């Protein structure tokens, strides 16, 4: 019977959004990347990196498409990251701007034979866009009725036409 791990996903700059996933411990980081890209509607053609941190916030490992010394994402499972002491993973989805989401290991949970894994088990807030310059806060979570961007709201400075 597989071991099931529950992770909470947050964005450091977003106080509203979170998701919780249940994942098999033998899931590779490559498969996790594919799952996250599909679930969050991110572009699949971006360079990504997983950084593993221990409970004290110390960097333990880096995993990428290329081996940074800790292994590649297609050869490292969630179980291996935990065994190496990485209870938190930073999923860097925009390497050039160091934008990442935080995956925090919560606990092992009971395997349920009638469900498929990986699976989403809890969520809150809108999914932030992969290339958005800012994320939701409680102040801008719900736009006011009639708030639409018109041509007169656009900044004309810097136009070279």
Segment 64-73, tens digit of pLDDT: 999 999 999 9
Largest CA distance in the chain: 64
In a domain, 138, yes or no: no
In a domain, 140, yes or no: no
Whether the per-residue pLDDT at 59 is higher than 80: the answer is yes
In a domain, 160, yes or no: no
Whether the per-residue pLDDT at 145 is higher than 50: the answer is no
Percent of the chain residues past pLDDT 70, beyond the cut: 80
Percent of the chain residues past pLDDT 90, beyond the cut: 62
In a domain, 23, yes or no: yes
Q: In terms of DSSP H, where are the helices of the chain?
A: 29-40, 78-83
In a domain, 149, yes or no: no
pLDDT, residue 21, reads 98
- Categorize the per-residue pLDDT at 149 as very low, low, confident or very high, splitting at 50, 70 and 90: very low
What is the number of structural domains in the chain? 1
Which whole number is the average pLDDT over 17-25?
96
Cβ atoms of 50 and 89 closer than 8 Å: yes
pTM for this predicted structure: 0.79
pLDDT, residue 108, reads 97
Whether the per-residue pLDDT at 137 is higher than 80: the answer is no
In a domain, 131, yes or no: no
Structure tokens at 26: 């033998």
Cβ atoms of 16 and 125 closer than 8 Å: yes
pLDDT, residue 55, reads 93
In a domain, 101, yes or no: yes
Whether the per-residue pLDDT at 125 is higher than 80: the answer is yes
Domain enclosing residue 71, as ranges: 4-106+119-125
**For residue 24, what is the domain's CATH number?**
3.10.290.30
Q: How high is the mean pLDDT of the chain?
A: 84
């Amino acid at each position: 019977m597989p071991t099931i791990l529950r992770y909470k996903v947050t964005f450091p700059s977003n106080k509203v959004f979170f998701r919780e996933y249940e994942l098999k411990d033998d899931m590779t980081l490559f498969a996790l990347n594919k799952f996250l890209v599909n679930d969050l509607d991110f572009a699949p053609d971006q360079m990504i990196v997983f950084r593993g941190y221990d409970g004290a916030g110390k960097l333990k490992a880096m995993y990428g498409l290329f081996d940074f010394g800790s292994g590649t994402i297609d050869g490292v499972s969630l179980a291996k990251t935990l065994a190496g002491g990485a209870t938190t993973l930073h999923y860097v989805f925009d390497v050039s701007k160091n934008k990442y989401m935080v995956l925090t290991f919560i606990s092992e949970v009971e395997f349920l034979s009638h469900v498929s894994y990986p699976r989403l088990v809890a969520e809150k807030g809108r999914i932030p866009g992969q290339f958005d310059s800012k994320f939701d806060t409680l102040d801008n979570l719900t736009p006011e009725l009639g708030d639409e961007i018109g041509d007169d709201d656009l900044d004309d400075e810097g136009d070279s036409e």
